[in-house]
Amino acid sequence: MLLEARNLTKTYTVDHQRIAVLNDVSLTVAAGEFVVITGSSGSGKTTLLTLLSGLDHPTTGQVWIDGREISAASEDALAPLRNRTIGFVFQSFHLVPAMTALENIMFPAELTKDREAEPRARALLETVGLGARADNLPTQLSGGEKQRVALCRAMINRPKLLFADEPTGNLDSRNGQLVLDQLLSLQKTHSVTLILVTHNPEIAAAADRVIRLCDGRLDHQEHGESP
């Protein structure tokens, strides 16, 4: 398995009371799978994603990515894993305002001193239909274009595992569908494992498997219908 989580629990203390946001969740994800995490608002979807990706640590429980236990790893230890093995796409685009579209995409690859950063970034831009926008700043791009740039940036280091948190949440239906189609196309073309948080049933229907959370607990899992 590319990813495994065992008995994940995340609690916070508010006004001297312990509140469990996630409670004893276990799951596995195979290489190449497209898994959707869904559930009502406040069910723990985003919390689970941050724990699976190493952006946060569980209160108890363990996470393994590619055979490596990451639950208690330091930020210094996690940084290379995040940059080389994991890609992230968020609801907010998180592009660097002073960088062009091309520069935003290249940035993670430049951190690894990858000499192929620019040609690969340009190829990704062409793939998502933005080849002519390479030199545009984020302020010169629409919301859908910004998210496509963010998607290319997530793919630049050829990650094994891609995490997406409501990637179409800030987009209208047309742009949302465009971004989703290109995300799934890149996922299949590059054989990337995709774990995506959404409340959109149409996106969930495209997944290989749907994990539903309810009040911080694993409600049930079901197989989706791949397009």
Q: Do 10 and 51 contact (CB within 8 A), yes or no?
A: yes
d(CA 155, CA 150): 9
Mean of pLDDT values over 76-89: 90
Domain count across the chain: 1
pLDDT above 70 coverage of the chain, percent = 98
**Six-digit token string for 151:** 């998607």
Q: Tell me the mean pLDDT in the region 194-201.
A: 94
Q: What is the pLDDT at residue 202?
A: 87
Cα dist from 22 to 37, 48, 69, 150, 216, whole Å: 13, 7, 19, 28, 4
pLDDT of residue 79: 87
- Residues 115-167 pLDDT 10s: 999 999 999 999 999 999 999 999 999 999 999 999 999 999 999 999 999 99
Q: What CATH number does residue 119 fall under?
A: 3.40.50.300
Q: What angle do CA 63, 60, 43 make, to 5 degrees?
A: 85
Residue 158's region, left for phi above 0, alpha for psi from -120 to 50, else beta, is left
Instruction: Please determine, for residue 22, whether its predicted confidence score (pLDDT) is greater than 80.
Output: yes
pLDDT at 224: 61
Residue 16 banded pLDDT, cuts 50, 70, 90: confident
Q: What's the rounded mean pLDDT across residues 203-227?
A: 83
Range of the domain at 132: 3-223
Q: What would the mean pLDDT of 1-10 be, rounded to a whole number?
A: 96
- Specify the pTM: 0.92
- Residues of the chain by 3-state class (helix, strand, coil), percent to 5: 35, 30, 35
pLDDT band at 227 (very low <50, low <70, confident <90, very high): very low
Inter-helix orientation angle 117-127/143-155, to 10°: 140
Q: Half-sphere exposure (CA, 13 Å, Cβ side) for 53? A: 27
